[in-house]
A and B are shown apart, each in its own frame.
Chain A
Amino acid sequence: MNASLYELLALAMRYWFAALLALIVFLLTQSFVREWRIEKAVQRRIADTAATLGLRVLSSEDRRVQRGLLLPLDGDSLLGSGGGCDLRLRTRALRRRHLVLRVEKDRVYLYPEGGALVTADGQRVRRGDTLLPGQNMQAGGLVFRLERLQGEEAEAWLDD
């Protein structure tokens, strides 16, 4: 391609690049605004319709863990006393990584970590056992009850 032809092409394509860039920025902005709106709608819908599940502490060997403390559950949550746990309670009554709780379809599946002792309504829990709302669970030196959270409790957690 000779120099003058390239010059003509480059001069013409200034506007082409400007138009393409403007289009890309427009689509990115539109997508961002839509995502923002979807996000607000999702959070509203989840708060309105979902009965969120949570673990309430009924009793504890360690005074540092308050009775009545509520631990909301969301997806997969690792319960323990160590760093990196989703539900971290600084107490020797729990192992560093004690138990994984998986919320699915209004029930919780339990996966004790590394041979940790977990019982549900007095029965020893095996990996994959379920815990239903209203049932009690003992993990280490703590006793929990699985509860449904609705209205303000669920909304407060989702807005957190």
Chain B
Amino acid sequence: MARRLKRPSSDFLLLFLCVFEASIFGLLAFRQGLSYFPLFLAALMPCLLVFQALGLRRLFPHMDMQLLVIGNFLCALGLALLCRLRPDKAPRQFLFYLVGIAGMLGIALFVTKVRNKRPFVLPVMLLAVGSLGLTLLIGESTFGAKNWIDFGLFTLQPSEFVKLALVFVMALYLSERRDLRGNLPALLFAACCLCLIVLERDLGAVLICFLTCVCLYYAATGSLGLCGLALCGAALGALLMYALFDHVQLRVAMWRNPWVSPTEGGYQIIQALVAIGSGGMFGLGLGLGSPTIIPVNDTDFIFAALCEEMGLFCGLLVLAVYVLLFLRAGLLALRSRSAFDSLLCVGVLSSLAVQTFLIVGGVIKMIPLTGVTLPFISYGGSSMVSSMLMLGVLEGVAVNAGKREEDAWLRAQGGEAEEEAE
């Protein structure tokens, strides 16, 4: 009798993550008297995790459990840090997390069930360009970049979703045609989005989108020449932006020597470095450090706050989790039988990897700060939802790949498949 393909079980992983969530939120509930919201999360987060694992497994039998665990772990850690740093923002971030789960489910359904994705290309392109154009017209500026639209009840950062739109459009075109002429619409769309984001002065998002496009193009065509040319052009563009924008010059100067202006321009990076150093290997203890001194500790510098209170060891483990996420996305790209699915994985992987590198590198002063968020962890509705959407894309591809592998495996085995008790 043919046996179904058996993947490694994730039960222990789910159990340990539930224990982690319950203990970290449970501890935070008693930080300042009794706080009900962390206590509520200590009970609800493990239930949500189990619900996702059991419920989604029924809907998508071949979903990648480990990816789900990684995404939920990072979101839970981010929520916990927010309960510590900005308890007033934590409920809002939890709502965005719930929206993110729904979005993840929706996009996984789209990737698995919708056969012909071509009709969606034009609306996605128009929506992306339209939202960026709207941001330029009515958007609000924060820290030198005009990249927010305030809708009253919530604010939206369109560039977060444009990353995913770029991945979708480029993956679709590149999976069908490998020549430059055939991909002209996608490349023009990418160029248009990049120009609009440059006009918004959101240079972090420009870097992420540009490098994602280059990675996608190289993965699809293997064309070193064109990609090399694009990177040279980008280097020239970076020099031009350095010459034109004051805040770029400031950031480079502070990266080179923040001690030149320790109370003004260099204050943020100095505080972050001192926080990371103060934490030592195991941290000062959750709620016992002073991460609130660091400006924007809930978004750009949340990694520094994590290292201060939970230690460098935990910080490195969190980075290891990100690396495992990227490795799994890479493995999915290799497993996929469809070029479109593979390129989706490459696009998501590049986008998340570049974003993580930019923010962590900026916080530890390896590279100049770019003001992007740490995926899944940083406070921000747009960031949370777009990260969960990317996770949904990976899950959708995992389901497609798993289904095809199962069919091929059963054909190789021959005969009827045996129902396997879980």
Contacts and interface: CB of A to CB of B under 8 A. Distances in A.
Given A10-B27, A32-B324, A46 B412 contact: yes
Contacts of A30: 8
Interface stretch (A11-19, A60-68, A124-132): A11-19
A84 B118 contact: yes
Contacts of B70: 28
Nearest to A38: B7
A56 interface: no
Contacts of B30: 1, 6, 9
Interface string A69-96: 0000011001000111010100000000
A75 B335 contact: no
Contact of A42 (B31, B176, B409, B414): B409
A21 B408 contact: no
Interface range on chain A (Cβ under 8 Å from partner): 35 or more
Interface in B310-348: 310-311, 313-314, 317-318, 320-321, 324, 327-328, 331, 334-335, 337-338
Given A9-B27, A103-B407, A24 B310 contact: no
A24 B314 contact: no
A49 interface: yes
Given A50-B411, A103-B407, A84 B117 contact: yes
B176 A83 contact: yes
A31 interface: yes
B374 interface: no
Contacts of B331: 32, 35-36, 39
B412 A11 contact: no
A61 to B, nearest CB: 23
B365 interface: no
A27 B407 CA distance: 28
Interface string B62-73: 000010011001
Most buried by B among A34, A105, A106: A105
A89 B348 CA distance: 29
Interface in A89-118: 97, 103-106
B258 interface: no
Given A13-B23, A18-B311, A38-B7, A32 B117 contact: no
Contacts of B408: 42, 46, 50, 74-75
A1 B335 CA distance: 52
Nearest to A102: B407
Interface-centre pick from A20, A31, A50 (highest chain B CB count, 10 A): A31
Count chain A CB atoms within 10 A of each CB in B285, B313, B328, B338 and give the residue with the most: B285
A24 B7 contact: no
A78 B117 CA distance: 13
B411 A105 contact: yes
B285 A11 contact: yes
Most buried by B among A1, A13, A84: A84
A14 B404 contact: no
B287 A10 contact: yes
A88 B175 CA distance: 11
A28 B115 contact: no
B66 A28 contact: yes
A20 B19 contact: yes
A29 interface: yes
B324 A25 contact: yes
Interface string B175-209: 01000000000000000000000000000000000
Interface of A: 1, 6-7, 9-11, 13-18, 20-25, 27-32, 34-36, 38-39, 42, 45-46, 48-50, 74-75, 78, 82-84, 86, 88, 97, 103-106
5 nearest A-B residue pairs (beta carbon)? A10-B285, A84-B116, A50-B412, A1-B30, A21-B317
21 contacts: A13-B23, A14-B286, A15-B282, A18-B311, A18-B317, A20-B16, A20-B23, A24-B13, A28-B66, A28-B69, A28-B321, A38-B5, A39-B331, A42-B408, A50-B411, A50-B412, A82-B116, A82-B118, A84-B117, A104-B411, A106-B411
Given A13-B23, A104-B407, 15 more contacts: A1-B30, A9-B30, A14-B282, A17-B310, A18-B314, A24-B69, A29-B324, A31-B13, A32-B331, A38-B7, A42-B405, A75-B408, A78-B115, A84-B117, A103-B407
